[in-house]
Amino acid sequence: MNFDFSDDQKQLRDQARKFLAEKCSPKAVRVVLDGKAPYDKDLWKGLAEMGFLGVAIPEEFGGAGAGHLELCVIAEEMGRANAPVPFSSTVYLAAEALLIAGSEAQKKKWLPAIASGEAIGTLALFEGKGNPAPKNVKLTAANGVLNGIKKPVADGAIADFAVVAARNGSSGRDSDISLFLVDLKAGGVEIKSLTNLDPTRGQAEITFKDAKAEPLGAAGEGWSILTQVLDRAAVLCAFEQVGGSDRALEMGRDYALDRIAFGRQIGSFQAIKHMLADMYVSATLARSNSYYGAWALSTNAAELPEAAAAARISATQAFQHCAKNNIQVHGGMGFTWEFDCHMYYRRANAMALGLGSLSYWEDQLIDRMRKKNAA
């Protein structure tokens, strides 16, 4: 058994960590946080040059063709660094949708552009409140054009194209839903930035008015493709969340060692030690569940749907738990804008919602476990 990353993959992790430590300091993240830029363009360019954007994109489409385990490794580091770039929307959602369902021509057009950093992509799924469900897709597709409103769309204001979930039937079945590719720079698209919980990754409202769209995948298979995309993204996001959990835990640990109160390092008080131990426990459980997800993703195993949901829940809980308690360990200082704790707190809570809420994934997990037991 080798339920671990390989030495080469660990080397890639070191390389990514070093790169991000240099190019993505908390100071750099704050430029985006403070609204001075919509995302870190230099970092994005650097990530492309390092080959990180196309790490799981096949070589024939301009990527490195390394695979999804390598992408998991990079994702973890992106989470650690709290990188203010549209990585998850472009790489996990848009690129994965293209890889699963794109035609040869669509892949040729968009995947090399993603790998080289020229194109930012996203997934336009949500329409206001509610979790991923066919009935919540109201935007319509007819005669090659889309009409309706999507919000929130992650990184929608900076994206060049979107994978859009649209309704082209009213049978009440999943087959009413199809996916479309829309060039957001073309006509019929209005984009409005939305203020949001985590300004280091933007959200937008996109209005489609007779916007030209080309089908992505077969008509009526939108929901099935989307489910696969969300499962893959759940695993990849879990690695970002694991990276974020570890970083929040480290910040808390370091502060507990530095800070003196009542004549002692506060890390010598059991109340603080035990809080940090519990953070370690949840981060470790999340990491282990995510490894299982990574294995299922990289081997395209039948276990992927269940493994993805478990990784998603576990990593969401861990990141929220670690980010929250990191602030608690820091006391009043943790609550200030000046300290970095709130950046991870924001990211943890924003990420908890991005692919549908925790209760949605809990529901998915139990359904999938029941199916497996029945099989």
Partner 1 sequence: MNFDDTPQEAEFRAIARAWIGANAPKQYEEDLRKSSLGRTVLKNANILEVAKAWQKKKADAGWACLHWPKEYGGRGSSPIERVIWSQEEGPFGQLSRMFIIGHGMCGPTMMAFAREEHKRTYLPPLASGEKVWCQLFSEPAGGSDVAGLRTRAEKDGDDWVINGQKIWTSGAHYSDYGILLTRTDPTVPKHKGLTMFFLDMKSPGVEVRPIKQASGASDFNEVYFTNVRIPDHQRLGEVGDGWNVSLTTLMNERSAIGAAVSTGFHELFEYCSSLMLDDGPAIEDRAVRSKLANWAVKASGLKYTSMRAISALSKGERPGPENSIGKLVAGSMIQDVATYALDLQGASGVVSGEDAELAGRFQAMLLRAPGTRVEGGTDEIMRNIIAERVLGLPGDIRVDKDVPFNKIPTKGR
Paired tokens of 173 = 């079945």
Closest approach of partner 1 to the CB of residue 136, in Å: 17
How many residues touch partner 1 (CB under 8 A)?
A: 48
Q: Of the ranges 38-46, 182-190, 219-227, 270-278, which one interacts with partner 1 (CB under 8 A)?
A: 270-278
| Segment holding 241, helix H or strand E | helix 222-258
Residue list 291-320, contact with partner 1 (CB under 8 A)? 291-292, 294-295, 298, 309-310, 313-314, 317
The answer to whether 357 contacts partner 1 (rule: CB under 8 A) is no
The verdict on 15 binding partner 1 (CB under 8 A) reads no
**The residue type at 362:** E
Taking the complex as a whole, the smallest distance from the CB of residue 324 to partner 1 amounts, in Å, to 17
Handedness of CA 180, 185, 190, 192 (dihedral sign): positive
Nearest distance, CB of residue 135 and partner 1, angstroms: 17
Q: x/- string (CB under 8 A) for partner 1, residues 50-89?
A: -------------------x--------------------
Calpha distance 276→280 (Å, rounded):
6
Would you give the binding string for partner 1 spanning residues 215-234, x where CB under 8 A is met?
Answer: --------------------
Specify the amino acid at residue 103.
S
Angle between helices 304-330 and 341-354 (to 10 degrees): 150
Sign of torsion, CA 60 65 71 74?
negative
The answer to whether residues 216 and 101 touch, using CB atoms and an 8 Å cutoff, is: yes
CA atoms within 13 A on the CB side of 50: 21
Q: Is residue 256 close enough to count as binding partner 1 by CB under 8 A? A: yes
190: alpha, beta or left, given left = phi > 0 and alpha = psi -120 to 50?
beta
Instruction: Give the pairing type, strands 161-167 and 121-124.
Output: parallel
Look at residues 287, 292, 270 and name the one whose alpha carbon lies nearest to residue 322. 287
277 binds partner 1 (CB under 8 A): yes
Nearer to partner 1, 116 or 357 (CB): 357
Identify which of residues 87 and 361 has a Cβ nearer to partner 1 in the complex: 361
| Footprint on this chain of partner 1 (rule: CB under 8 A) | 1-6, 69, 249, 253, 256-257, 264-265, 267-268, 270, 272-274, 276-278, 280-281, 284-286, 288-289, 291-292, 294-295, 298, 309-310, 313-314, 317, 359, 361-363, 365-366, 369-370, 373
